[in-house]
Amino acid sequence: MNTSRYITITLIKIFLVILLMLILFCAGLMIGYGILGSGRMMDVFQMETWRHIVDFIK
């Protein structure tokens, strides 16, 4: 019984770390594009923004 509890707790920790990483990644994108890049923060989630960035790199 202890083994299954340990595995469950470990999986929950891994899930929380991945979720936190995703949230911080999105926050970093918003800060970088909105504050440092002088754009609107929510525009970073639009497909046109990413097309423009990819076209700019190419």
Q: What does each of the 58 residues of the chain score in pLDDT, given as a tens digit? A: 689 999 999 999 999 999 999 999 999 999 998 999 888 899 999 999 889 889 989 8
Q: Which of 23, 18, 44 is nearest to 10 (CA)?
A: 18
Return the structure tokens found at 6. 């340990």
Q: Please answer whether residues 47 and 41 qualify as being in contact, where contact means their C-beta atoms are separated by less than 8 angstroms.
A: no
Contacts of 32 (CB under 8 A, 6+ apart): 44
Return the structure tokens found at 44. 């970073």
